Amino acid sequence: MNHPYRSLVSEYPRLAKLGQSLPLGGFEPLSMPALAPDAPAVLVFSPHPDDECIIGALALRLRRELRWNVTNVAVTQGSKKERQAGRWMELQAACQFLGFGLIPTIPNGLEKINPKTRQQQPDHWASAVEVISGILQEHRPRIIFMPHAEDWNSTHIGTHFLVSDALMRQPSSFECWVVETEFWGAMNSPNLMIESSVEDVADLIAGLSCHVEEVRRNPYHLTLPAWMQDNVRRGGELVGGQGGAAPSFCFATLYRLQRFGAGKYHQTYEGGKILSASDNLSSLFA
C-alpha cells in the first residue's frame, strides 16, 4: 500500500547522502556585529573540541543578537595525544567561523578530567581547578556554559565538577549566570528551551564540519538537526509542562539556567521558559 509518509521518509536518506557530499570546513567566517569594548563576557567550557558547536545554539544567538563576547574555553583537546594539535587547529577554525573567541587551559589541554581523578588524584585535580579558577577571575563572565552533572561521558561529567569546584573558589562577590548543557545524557529537569532559526542551525552544522577528521570518521554534524528536532519533542513536556501543547518549532536546544552567587546556586524562576527565535534573549539575564 502506498501512502504519503513513504515519500516523506525517503527524503531523509536522500538528504543525508547529499550532506555527505558537502565540503568540510574551509568557509569564510560569518559576518558578525562588532563587539563593544564593554560587551558582557560569556565563557563556554567545552569538554572536547566540537562541543562548542553542538550545544552552541544559545551562545551563537548571544553573539549574533546581543553582541555579547562569547569565548570558548578548550578544557581538553581530546585524549588522543597524536590528535591534540590537529584538534586544536580544527577548533580554531570552528570558533573563527562562528565569531567565538578561543582560549586554551594549558598547552594541549587538561588531562584526566573525570570523576575518578577528582576522587583519587586530589593534587592533579586541584591544579586543574586552579587553572579554571584563574580563567574565571580573569574574564569575570556574565554567563558560563558547562555540561550538567549526568551528561554520561566521563569528561563531560568531569568538566561539570571541575567548573563547579572552580566556582566555589571564587570570592563571595563573584556572580554569574550558569547555563548547564546536555548532549550524551539528557537532563531530567531542563528549565529553558531555545529555538534556533534555520540560519543558526545551518551555521552550527558548518562550524561543526570544521572538525574535519572527527566528522569524517563519523558524520555526526549531519544528525544535529534531528537531535534539535527531538529536543522540541522533549522540551514541550519537560520545559513547557507535562501534557502541554508543543511549540511549533523545528529546532531547539534544552538547557538548565541558574544563578550563581555567594558560593551557591540559586533558582531564578519557577517552571520553565521557552524562547522562540524572535524573542529577545536579554530578558533571561535581567
Which domains, and CATH codes, for the chain? 37-77+84-285 (3.40.50.10320)
pLDDT at 246: 82
φ, ψ (nearest 5 deg) of residue 76:
-125, 170
* Least reliable range by pLDDT among 116-120, 209-213, 245-249: 245-249
Single out the residue of 28, 82, 79, 76 nearest to residue 51, CA to CA.
76
pLDDT at 228: 98
Residue 91 has pLDDT above 90, yes or no: yes
Residue 232 has pLDDT above 80, yes or no: yes
**Cell, residue 71:** 569565548
Q: What secondary structure letter does DSSP report for 48?
A: S
CA dihedral 213, 182, 237, 226 (to 10 degrees): 0
> What mean pLDDT is predicted for residues 210-232?
97
Residue 139 has pLDDT above 90, yes or no: yes
- In the chain, what percentage of residues exceed pLDDT 70? 100
Residue 80 · residue 119 · CB < 8 Å: no
Instruction: Give kind and range of the element (H or E) at residue 194.
Output: strand 192-195
β partners of residue 76:
109
Average pLDDT for the chain: 96
d(CA 10, CA 20): 16
Using a 10 angstrom Cβ sphere, with 0-12 exposed, 13-18 middle and 19 or more buried, the burial of residue 19 is middle
- Residue 249 CA, distance from chain mean position: 19
Single out the residue of 174, 139, 171, 144 nearest to residue 160, CA to CA.
144
d(CA 133, CA 245): 42
Residues 6+ apart with CB under 8 A from 90: 25, 49, 210, 211, 212, 213, 214
Instruction: Determine if the pTM surpasses 0.95.
Output: yes
d(CA 279, CA 116): 41
> What mean pLDDT is predicted for residues 126-137?
98
pLDDT at 31: 97
d(CA 102, CA 112): 21
Residue 147 · residue 156 · CB < 8 Å: yes
Residues 6+ apart with CB under 8 A from 64: 32, 33, 99, 200
Amino acid at the residue 133 = S
Instruction: Give kind and range of the element (H or E) at residue 117.
Output: helix 115-120
Residue 200 has pLDDT above 90, yes or no: yes
> What mean pLDDT is predicted for residues 127-134?
98
As a whole number of angstroms, the longest Cα–Cα distance in the chain is 68
Residue 76 has pLDDT above 80, yes or no: yes
pLDDT at 2: 87
> What mean pLDDT is predicted for residues 235-248?
90
